[in-house]
Amino acid sequence: MPLSKAAPKKEAKNNSPKIAKPARGPLARDDLASFVDAGLSIAQIAAAVDRSKATVRHWLMRHGLKTHGSPGSRRAEHTRAAASARQAGLAVLPMQCPRHGLTEFALGTRGYYRCKRCRSEAVARRRRKVKATLVAEAGGACCICGYDRTMRALHFHHLDPADKRHEINANGVAIALAKLRVEAHKCVLLCSNCHAEVEAGFTSLPVRPLQKHPSEVAHSGVTQLAECGAVNADVVGSSPTPGAPTAGL
């Protein structure tokens, strides 16, 4: 008779209670601040306190602290130079920009230095986005001749100068998109040639159909966030005034 295979032995279950690791508690702000001031990176702090980098990163954020990179790095040098300049009361100092190289950095209202050329480019980007939004909502073309080849040649003309509250065509005006929409409702869109002829009295404006006021147009919360997010950059701008420097428009 063939021998039957022996059934495998079942391993005995370990019913001993598992010992939970004790909670290690939060990282004190003063301790982390001393590491940050010494120029340690997150990895170096984690090794010093015997915690994970994720834990160190979490408590740095909770305490509002931020590392400055390893000593000798460009980021650390940038931070030290900015701190020294703030203490000395300097509004402008030369520093290295990753995009523009060695250039001037200006102290902003938020308390940190920013590349002046990067900030100027941000103004131009937002200005173009704001104008593109308003031009599209105004019909996208001159209401007299239908010109629509370039947005640079399209201007907003107030129907009643007495109703003007904001200058849409001014450079660098810090106005919210919602307020600009209300102001654009008081205007018609003209190309630069027709605008000049209307101002000189050579051309009359056509009668335009009654439009809904911007406050009467339904916008969901998601739509408003998307629209504002599409035009809100680092700084606020607007479209150009006829005859004035375009500054990116």
* pLDDT tens-digit readout, 6-38: 555 555 555 555 544 555 788 988 888 888 777
Which two tokens mark 58? Answer: 């979490």
Residue 100's pLDDT is 87
pLDDT, mean of residues 244-248: 40
pLDDT band at 110 (very low <50, low <70, confident <90, very high): confident
- The answer to whether residues 157 and 203 touch, using CB atoms and an 8 Å cutoff, is no
Q: Quick one: 187 exposed, middle or buried, by C-beta within 10 A (0-12, 13-18, 19+)? A: buried
Domain map (residue ranges) of the chain = 26-71, 74-111, 118-231
Does 191 score more than 70 pLDDT?
yes
Q: What is the DSSP string of 85-112?
A: HHHHT-SEEEEEETTTEEEEEEE-TTSS
Q: Is the pTM of this model over 0.85?
A: no
Q: What is the mean pLDDT of the chain?
A: 75
SS3 150: coil
Residue 87's pLDDT is 81
